[in-house]
Each structure stands twice: as C-alpha cells, then as structure tokens.
Structure 1
Amino acid sequence: MPIRGREAAALSVGVVLLVAAFAVPHLGLGTLTPIINSTPERVRAFADTAPIFGWWEAHVGWGTVPALLIAAAVVRWGPDVAGRLRWRSLVGLTWATSLLWAFSLAMVDGWERGFAGRLTARHEYLRQVPTITDIPEAVRTFSARILDFQPDSWITHVSGHPPAALLSFVWLDRIGLGGGAWAGLFCLLVGSSAAAAIIIAIRAVADEATARLAAPFVAVAPAAIWIAVSADGYFAGVAAWGIALLALAVHGRPRRAVPAGAGAGLLLGWGIFLNYGIGLIALPAVAVLLTATDRRSALRALVPAVIAALAVVAAFYAAGFWWFDGYHLVQERYWQGIANDRPFQYWVWANLASTVCAIGLGSVAALGHVFDARALRRRSGLHLLLTGALLSIILADLSMLSKAETERIWLPFTVWLTAAGALLPPRSHRWWLALNVVGALAINHLILTNW
C-alpha cells in the first residue's frame, strides 16, 4: 500500500511520539520523566506504563475472541457495508458495533476488573454516592468541599468535576440502578453512542458519503478502551450529541432549527457541569457554525442553543453552585495532589502520545490531510470539525491542567479525531483500519489500563 506524503509525515510524527513517550521514562533524564519525588512503589502505581495510565500485564480474557472477531469483521466488510447500508441502519449499526467493541475490550480484563468494579474504586463517584442524603444541600455546599485536606472533602473524581457528574450517579442509584455494573452500563451506552452522533454530525456539515467513509473508523476506535467504562465516556457521549444536534440545527430544515439548537444547548450546557474541560468543546461548536451556508442559518441554531445553555447555568446557580467558583477551586485542588510531581516537560508532549494511542495510527496518518488550506478556505465541514477538536486538545495541553490520563480525560475531543480516517484514500481504508484495531488490541492485552 503506497503511503502519500502527508500521511507519511503524520504517521512518522505519531510513531516518534509513541516511541519517545514509552522510552524516555527509562532513560533517567531528570525532570524529563513522568513522575518525580517518588518511591519505586509510587512510580509503579502512577507511571508504570506512561504515557498510558496502567500496569504492564500481558493477559487475555473472554472478551478477547469477540474483540478479534469484531475487529476482523469491520476491517474486512466495514467499508463495503458502510457504503451500501440504508442510512438509518448504518447509524444504528455504527452505535451497536462501537458498543460491542468497547464491551469486548473491557471483558478482556474480566467482568469485575474490567467492567463492574471500575467505577467502584476508592477515588470514583460511586464511593461518594451513599454519602449524599440531601441533594439540594450537596449542590449548595459543593464548592466548599472541593479543596483537599478538609474533614468533608470530596473524593478525588468528585472534587475534580462540577456537580452534574456526581448527580448523574446519585440519580441512577435513586431509580434503583445502583452499583458498578449499572453505572458501567450507563457510561458504556452513552459513551458508545458518540460514534452515531459523530457520523450524524459529519453528514450534516459535510455530506453522507463522507459520513459513510468515517463510520468504520469511529465504530472500532481504540478510544473504546477508555469509553468502557469511565465517566469520561459518558461525558464524551453527551458532548458529541450536543455537537450533532447543533450541526442538525445549522443544516437541517428551518422549522427544526429551534428545537435542535435548544437540544444542543441543553446537552452542551449540561456537559460543562459534567467536566470543566468540556468548555473547550466551544471550538468544535464554532467550527459547526462556520459551516453554515449563511448567517441566518447560523443564528437560527445559535440563539436557542445559547438560551438553553444559559438556562442550565442559571439552574445550577439558583441551586447554589457557580461554575467559575468551582473551576478556580479545582485548580487549587489539582495542585494539591499528584500534579506537582508530574513534570510538564514530559507530559506536554507525552499527552499527545496518549492521544495517538486513543485514536490509532491509522487516524493519525489521516490528520495529515486536515492541514489543507484550500479545504479550510472553502469551509469543508469535516476539516473544520477536526481542526476544532485539535485546537481543543492543544489548549487543554497547554493549560497544564491535563498532565497524564489524557487518553481518558480528552475523550470528548479525541472521539472526533477518529473520524479523520474518512480523509484517507478509500482503497487504503482496510489497511488503516487494521492498524487501528491491532494497536487497540495490543494496548488492551499488554497493559492493564486503570480506566
């Protein structure tokens, strides 16, 4: 398979990043390392497989065979099926494939270790759920409990996110779906649905042919390793549907623009109360607005979206939580913890290596086609969307508030980059898909990921 110049350049950068990020921690280069001021035990706990958060452990599980079969089927038949299937059926199949792929990868680690027990770890939301006996009081006092070293400080993940993340699991528990298995299923269902949202958005801002080309790549993205199961998979799904509805509001029928725009605003507004970093999804949202054929179409979508998002902000403010108070306190909490021992000199570029792992080298090769001045000038929908996602990642990286674990934390942005495969020559899609799934299977079977 011939590799063209842009693909070769992007692939080379991705490979160099991967090799360097995995090799540098073993070279003893002072602060150019994943963690400092640490004992060997702490290094193993937090940097054993840097830039990925996990531990070296070659293993197989009952999810291995299904994962291999799904990977082989998508590589062999995925592009053909995506090109021929009815559109609505393709959307459903993309979601179903993404769900089964993610679940199979989780089951490589086993039911308890890979799925049901993931969200019950000591730093996770479910450990806090039993302590919430008064929801209004929890929201009202949320900011006061963010900082560490207080008698009633929130546990790590609760303190690091706005209250909607915790509330989601509290409400799940209240309706009788408590425990790790239900929480994991919830995150898996919402997170895997991002695959369907992405191709719907691409169809709206570009065309159906492009969306069909992207479908196999998003269906078996390596990011599925962290979508099942982490709360960030849930966050990614919410943000993806927010962008998809915004795209439908901009490019759909005028009479549907207001409800679609309002739906987009509600989801994106809810998203920023799930994860402070989701505020950066504003860049892909702006990219969608830039694809509008005229100013009226953009405003028809933007106005109801902004009003709905502000309604979410107002509701939380009325309940006693102001987003900016939480954001400033979270920054303090961040530097109270392990962030002080994770040198920016390493993570500023190693974060990007973990992104390579999450989207796959095949999609990395496709990113070489994103930097196309002519396509951007003519406001190509897919190029603008991918550029928005890339800029979100760059800003998150430079903020110094994302050092390590970005294969999980950046899921709301990286899921979009998996669709870059649509820009590759169609005749080469099977090869690039194969490279992506082989990478995902290798990571999942050689590393026991923390998420």
Structure 2
Amino acid sequence: MEATTTRPEVPASTPERRSRADLTVLGVEVGLVGAAVAVGAVLNARGVGLHADAAPLFATWGPHVGWGTPAAVLVALGVLGPGLAWARTAGWVPLLGAAWVTSVAWTLALGLVDGWSTGLTERLTPQAEYLHEVPRVTDVAAMLAGFTGRILDFQPDSWSTHTAGHPPGALLVFVGLDRVGLGGGTAAALACVLVGATVTVSVPVALRALGAVDAARAVVPFLVLLPGAVWVGASADGLFAGVVAAGLALLAVRGRAAPAAGGLLLGFALHLSYGFVLVGLLALAVLALRPSGRLSALTAGAVGVGAVVLAFEVAGFRWWDGYQLVVERYYQGWAADRPYAYWVWANLAALLLCAGPVLGPALRRAVRAGVGAVRAGLRRAGGPRALPMVVGPTVLLPATAAVVVLAADLSGLSKAEVERIWLPFAVWLLVATVHLPPGARRWWLAGQAATALAVNHLVWTVS
C-alpha cells in the first residue's frame, strides 16, 4: 500500500475566505462606480450628450450641508445602535410601525439636506413633472380618452416629459390629491415619502407570509436605511415602489381577498409605469413561493390585474398603444443623444448608489446559498417543480429582481436616471442581505448609511 502523508484539511469555504470574497466584490463595486464617474466626466467635458452632469447620477456636482444633515446622522446612528438590536426582539407589529416611521424620518432628513423647498416641495413642480399638468386636467374622462394623442412631442398640446413617459395612472394620482384638497408640491412630495416608506412594511410582510420569518426581521434595517431614500424624497418613483411592494406582498398573503387586492394594485402599477410589465416576473416568483393556494392566488391576482386594465380600456386608454408611442417619444428627447455604450454599464453603477454597497456581497452570498440548496435538496424535494421552495424567498426574490433589472438595462429604454426608476426593484434586491453573517451586518449597514449621506451631500439630485 502506498504511503500517504496526512495534514489538516482547510475547509473549502471558511468564514475568512467568504469575508475576503465579500471585500473583493466591494472592490469591484468601488471600481465600477469610480469608472462610471471618471468616464462620465470625460464624456461630459467632450460634449457628449449624457445629459447628466454628475454621471452616472442624474444630478449636478455641489458639496453642501443643510438642516437635515444632523438629523440624518442621528437617524442612522439610532438604527445602527439600539435599533439594530431591538429589531431582533421587538413585537412584529411594533417593529413594522417603527420601521415605517424611521424610514419616513430618514427620507425627510435626507431631503432637508438640500432644504425644505429644494429638497422636497419644489421637486415635483418643474415643467417636466406631473404637477405641471394637474391644472390642465379639467375633465378626467376626457384626459383618459385623449391621453395617447398627446404623448408624442413637438405638437401644441404635448404632455410634459414625465407625464408623456408614463401611463395616465401616474398623473391620476396627483390629480386625485389635488381634487381632495392636497394639491401643490408639499402634499405631492409628502405623499411620495409616506407611500414610498411603506416598502419597509410590505417586503417583510411578504417574506413572513412566504415562511421566511427570521429573514423578514433581518431585512428591516437595510430597508429603513435604504440609500435610495435620497430619491424616494421626493420623486414619483418612490411612490411607485410603495405601490408595487404592497401589491406583491398581498399576493403572498393567505386567502383570496388579499391576492385579489394585490392584483388590483399591480394592475394599477402597470398604469403608473410601462416598465412595470417586468414586475410580472416578481409576481410569478411570489406565487411560486406560496406554501399553498398558488392557483387560487394566481386566479384572484389575474382577475384584479385584468379588472384595472379593462377599466382603463373602457375609459379610452389602451396600454399597448401608449407603450408604442412612448418608445417613439423616448427617442424624440435625450435618449437619442445618450450613448448606450456608456449607460448600459454605468446604469449598474447608479443602481449601486441606490441599493448601496451591500448589494454585490449580498447577492453573491444569496447565489451561493441557492446553489447549495439546489445541490442538497432538489432530488429529495421532488424535481424542478420544487425549485422555488428549495431555494426559498431570500434567494428567488432578489435573483428575480436582478433578472428584471438586467432586462430593463439591456432594453436600452433605461439610459440614465435609473437610481430612481429602479427603486421598485432595488428594495427586492436587498432581500439578499439576510444572507450576510449577523456579526457583519452592522458594518454593511453603516456603509449603506454612509453612501446615502455621501451622495446627498456631494451632489444636487434631480427627480
């Protein structure tokens, strides 16, 4: 028998190696953002039509501080200190309530770094925004019936940029606020903040309903200190994120009434942004993860979506017609100048500044966990049909969100401004953070807060 020499075996993946891998991914992220900033600066200096002075962000450079600076720092310290520990033991309802309140405080504080007017109340009042059109809507029925006829530019009654670029549901929200006495920039901005902050409730509720109870708690601090809160306060995309998250959460809840309500919300979301057709992938992932009642939930949700689509059709707005015209309008504006070769990768740098530096390491760990789960349990669980249950919601949901973002990026219909446009997807990407080791979460969370503070103090963002 051949002699052998024995020696201690090093595990294939030690905690130290995993930590080094996380830092390597972080280094790649820093390099990507740095490259996007440097190349963006060069292209802007050469007069290339990026139409983003602080590329990859749609913003202008200008270091500044404001009244919100100390408030934002205090909120971050509160979450990083007692908040993080309390989230592990708090009652479920108090936890969700505190998460929403803290998220509102965080978002408002970041907005106030720019000042009450510049940072909040005037964000939705420029000519390109929805509020510009609100006084012109004197007949809602006529507006819906004639909406598509005003999408294309260079005609006397063309819609302003944001209104033309979205289905009429977005404009309806602000018209509705105005009709109930909540008109103007302040009410609109606060509505975006208050609804946008509900993602801190909806995402954990979805995870809990899908059986990931511990994960539902673990993700809360990362949702509260979301760097993307810089754009939640205040842009309509923050409000959109809240609507989408609530619709998906209701699909996950037991019974038929909740999925039906979720379908109604997701149907309305389709009329907030054409890009939300991609939310259908996330909806299917949620339905596949339900422990029971998948078919009934699918049916109820589909009926809800169909009811909203039919209501808009009857009112005179056809989604598909609007989408085709919007693609044409898109290339009547800055999209014709913005180079795809830059934005197809710089968009990902903008996403990192929205979702935070934790994104790459968290996704890496989620993918690793998913692969391990598949290897260990797919045969035992019953084949490919059981795949969603094998990998679980903390893998499948962020993985699906990543596919959605990739599809949106490659489409060429999201060149720039994705730091706010992709907010509804970013919050589901952060579900992957539950795979971080508990001992490292505080440091990653600090990095999230630092990212938001750095962005908000170095540039003047535009909604």
1:48 to 37, 48, 53: 53
- The structure with the larger Rg is 2
Determine whether 1:321 maps to 2:307. Answer: no
2:329 to 330, 333, 340: 333
Q: Percent same amino acid among aligned pairs?
A: 47
Q: Which amino acid aligns with 1:390?
A: A
Q: Residue in 2 aligned with 1:410? A: 422
Determine whether 1:184 maps to 2:182. Answer: no
Query: 1:140: how far off?
Result: 0.1
Deviations 1:83-140 (A, max 9, x none): 0100011111111111110010000000100001100011000010000111100000
1:370 to 350, 366, 370: 366
Q: Residue in 2 aligned with 1:140? A: 145
2:26 to 3, 8, 11: 11
Gaps of at least 5 residues in structure 2 are 1-14, 375-386
Gaps of at least 5 residues in structure 1 are none
CA gap of 1:382–1:18, structure 2 versus 1, over 3 A, is same
3-state secondary structure, aligned to 2:110: helix
Q: How does 1:233-244 map to 2 (within 5 A)?
A: 233-244=238-249
Q: How does 1:256-267 map to 2 (within 5 A)?
A: 257-267=255-265
CA gap of 1:386–1:225, structure 2 versus 1, over 3 A, is same
Deviations 1:266-287 (A, max 9, x none): 0000000001111111111111
**Aligned partners of 2:99 and 2:150: how far apart in 1?**
41
3-state secondary structure, aligned to 1:118: coil
Determine whether 1:433 maps to 2:442. Answer: no
CA gap of 1:36–1:246, structure 2 versus 1, over 3 A, is farther
Q: How does 1:195-344 map to 2 (within 5 A)?
A: 195-248=200-253, 252=254, 257-293=255-291, 297-344=293-340
Query: 1:37: how far off?
Result: 5.0
TM-score normalised according to structure 1 size: 0.93
Deviations 1:322-341 (A, max 9, x none): 00000000000000000011
CA gap of 1:322–1:303, structure 2 versus 1, over 3 A, is same
**Aligned partners of 2:136 and 2:308: how far apart in 1?**
25
Q: Residue in 2 aligned with 1:361? A: 357
**Aligned partners of 2:153 and 2:48: how far apart in 1?**
20
Q: Which amino acid aligns with 2:266?
A: L
1:205·1:382 contact (CA, 8 Å) conserved in 2?
no
Q: Which amino acid aligns with 1:323?
A: W
CA gap of 1:394–1:34, structure 2 versus 1, over 3 A, is farther
Which gives a bigger RCO, structure 1 or 2 (Cα 8 Å, sep 6+)?
Answer: 1
CA gap of 1:334–1:129, structure 2 versus 1, over 3 A, is same
Query: 1:34: how far off?
Result: 10
**Aligned partners of 1:13 and 1:375: how far apart in 2?**
26
**Aligned partners of 2:38 and 2:133: how far apart in 1?**
37
Query: 1:292: how far off?
Result: 2.8
CA gap of 1:35–1:194, structure 2 versus 1, over 3 A, is farther
Q: Residue in 2 aligned with 1:58? A: 63
1:161·1:276 contact (CA, 8 Å) conserved in 2?
yes
Q: Residue in 2 aligned with 1:76? A: 81
3-state secondary structure, aligned to 1:301: helix
**Aligned partners of 1:140 and 1:198: how far apart in 2?**
35
2:373·2:391 contact (CA, 8 Å) conserved in 1?
yes
Q: Which amino acid aligns with 2:446?
A: A
Query: 1:6: how far off?
Result: 4.5
**Aligned partners of 2:330 and 2:426: how far apart in 1?**
22
Q: Residue in 2 aligned with 1:21? A: 36
CA gap of 1:308–1:362, structure 2 versus 1, over 3 A, is same
**Aligned partners of 1:22 and 1:219: how far apart in 2?**
27
CA gap of 1:24–1:316, structure 2 versus 1, over 3 A, is same
Deviations 1:382-438 (A, max 9, x none): 111101111110010011000000001111101222332211000111100011101
Deviations 1:320-379 (A, max 9, x none): 000000000000000000001110100001000001000111233211112131346413
The number of residue pairs the alignment matches comes to 432
**Aligned partners of 2:40 and 2:291: how far apart in 1?**
49
Q: Which amino acid aligns with 1:338?
A: W
Deviates more, 1:153-162 or 1:6-15: 6-15
Q: Which amino acid aligns with 2:407?
A: L
**Aligned partners of 2:329 and 2:117: how far apart in 1?**
30
**Aligned partners of 2:135 and 2:45: how far apart in 1?**
35
2:212·2:394 contact (CA, 8 Å) conserved in 1?
no
Q: Which amino acid aligns with 2:164?
A: S
Deviation beyond 6 Å, 4+ runs, structure 1 = none
3-state secondary structure, aligned to 1:55: strand
CA gap of 1:417–1:233, structure 2 versus 1, over 3 A, is same
**Aligned partners of 1:387 and 1:106: how far apart in 2?**
31
3-state secondary structure, aligned to 2:366: coil
Q: Residue in 2 aligned with 1:168? A: 173
CA RMSD in angstroms, aligned pairs only:
1.6
**Aligned partners of 1:277 and 1:358: how far apart in 2?**
18
CA gap of 1:368–1:34, structure 2 versus 1, over 3 A, is farther
**Aligned partners of 1:36 and 1:162: how far apart in 2?**
33
2:41·2:55 contact (CA, 8 Å) conserved in 1?
no
**Aligned partners of 1:325 and 1:380: how far apart in 2?**
38
**Aligned partners of 1:83 and 1:34: how far apart in 2?**
49
Q: Which amino acid aligns with 1:443?
A: V
